[in-house]
Amino acid sequence: MNKILSIILAFTFGLSFAKAQETETFKEKGYTLIFKNNYANLDSELKKRMVKTFFKVYPQLANDFNKNTAKEVVFHVDTAYTAVAATGGGRIVYNPWWFVKNPGDIDVVTHEVMHVVQSYGGGSGPGWLTEGIADYVRFKYGVDNPGAKWTLPAFKPEHSYKNAYRVTARFLNWLEINGNKGIVVKLDNAMRSHTYKDTIWKDLTGKTVDELWAAYAANPGV
């Protein structure tokens, strides 16, 4: 009896696991999204939102930042992955448990697909700027940041432009609305073409990044 029960349980587990390995392909607007998932309980509505967000945001980012970005992207929801999400080449891996705990955080997708668009490669420039640009993009192009209770943080004296992510994103947004419209696109292009140098800030604005930060810190309102 125990042997029969073990066979039934093994068979049931096998079916569940097989279902969790499903791969689907979606095509829209000239782009392809391959969706892989090994989490059997992935919410179907969440999956739809992830796919919808990709096709809403990715073509916009391609148009505004990098028209030569990858035409095919892979999403992999992977139970073995323990951080939030990560991008390598045209593949993005997501931690399903993050979405279980934070079901409204759909703009993780927006941040990560910007990394695909960035496609900087090694030696492109500072990592803080890479992540700052990606969070600036999340702020500007995100489909539901309020649903995740995600905002740019208020300025604090202990902040630095090198903090990356949302802190750097707020600085970039301040630059954009204070006489430097288009600077994020220019910085992004320089990073991707490996022409970024510390002097680029002065070349683009007439001030060093430290001087810009000092001006921001003196009047950080956005």
Q: Are residues 137 and 94 in the same domain?
A: no
Q: Is residue 96 part of a domain?
A: yes
Q: Is residue 11 part of a domain?
A: no
Are 35 and 23 in contact by the 8 Å Cβ rule? The answer is yes
Q: Are residues 129 and 111 in the same domain?
A: no
Q: Is residue 1 part of a domain?
A: no
Q: Are residues 128 and 222 in the same domain?
A: yes
Q: Are residues 98 and 133 in the same domain?
A: no
Question: Nearest to residue 174, comparing CAs of 123, 114, 216, 206?
Answer: 216
Place of tokens 């990715």: 58
Q: Quote the pLDDT of residue 9.
A: 38
Q: Are residues 70 and 128 in the same domain?
A: no
Q: Is residue 101 part of a domain?
A: yes
Q: Are residues 101 and 81 in the same domain?
A: yes
Round to whole Å and give the CA distance between 214 and 156.
12
In this prediction, residue 195 has a pLDDT band, given cuts at 50, 70 and 90, of very high
Q: Are residues 70 and 142 in the same domain?
A: no
Tokens (6 digits) for 19: 């279902």
Q: Are residues 83 and 164 in the same domain?
A: no
CA angle 164, 211, 214 (to 5 degrees): 70
Q: Are residues 138 and 171 in the same domain?
A: yes
Q: Are residues 184 and 112 in the same domain?
A: no
Contacts of 8 (CB under 8 A, 6+ apart): none
Q: Is residue 4 part of a domain?
A: no
Q: Is residue 5 part of a domain?
A: no
Question: Which residue range is the domain that position 113 belongs to?
Answer: 21-119
221 vs 92: which has the higher pLDDT: 92
Round to whole Å and give the CA distance between 207 and 221.
19
Residue type, 50: M
Type and span of the H or E element at 110: helix 108-118
Q: Is residue 8 part of a domain?
A: no
pLDDT digits (tens, 9 = 90+) for 148-184: 999 999 999 999 999 999 999 999 999 999 999 999 9
Give the predicted TM-score (pTM) of the model: 0.90
User: How many structural domains compose the chain?
Assistant: 2
Q: Are residues 110 and 162 in the same domain?
A: no
Strand order in the sheet with 72-77: 23-28, 31-37, 72-77, 91-94, 85-88
pLDDT digits (tens, 9 = 90+) for 66-90: 999 999 999 999 999 999 999 998 9
